[in-house]
Amino acid sequence: MRLLQLLSLAADAELLRLKREAVVFGRCAVRSTLALVFGIAALVMLHFAAWHAFVATLGAAVLALILGTIDAALAGLLFWLAQPRRDLVAEEAARLRTSLLRTAQHTSPLEGAFQAELVRGPVAAMVGVAVNAAIDAWRRR
């Protein structure tokens, strides 16, 4: 019985870990998509505004280099913000699952059954001896 309980707990821990990782993945996907959409829209507007404002003073080549550098910096920042963060609950669930599976590997499937029988056997025998002694004492009266 103990082996089945350990395996059940390990499965629950794994399910919790997978659910948490799926939530983290979904949030990262949504954030990345939103960052991409708004980033592209903002860059398009900024490009138009900057081009019209500075093309006469800086020239087309220098302005294209400046805007490209700014685009690369913003893309790096958005990529960094889209990275998943550590999920301590998922990490603990994985550690718990690993620990339970190690314990289950070193547990005999019949250990719980024999242990329960050993506990019941001597206790039942001692109760039986006590009941027999009480009956014998009552009969002698």
Alpha-carbon gap, residue 109 to 97, rounded angstroms: 18
pLDDT at 120 > cutoff 90: no
Confidence class for position 8, pLDDT limits 50, 70, 90: confident
Q: What angle do CA 9, 13, 18 make, to 5 degrees?
A: 145
Choose from 26-35, 82-91, 127-136 the range with maximum mean pLDDT. 26-35
What pLDDT is attached to residue 107? 64
Mean pLDDT in residue range 1-24: 82
pLDDT at 34 > cutoff 90: yes
More confident call, 121 vs 26: 26
- DSSP-derived secondary structure letter, 86: P
What pLDDT is attached to residue 46? 81
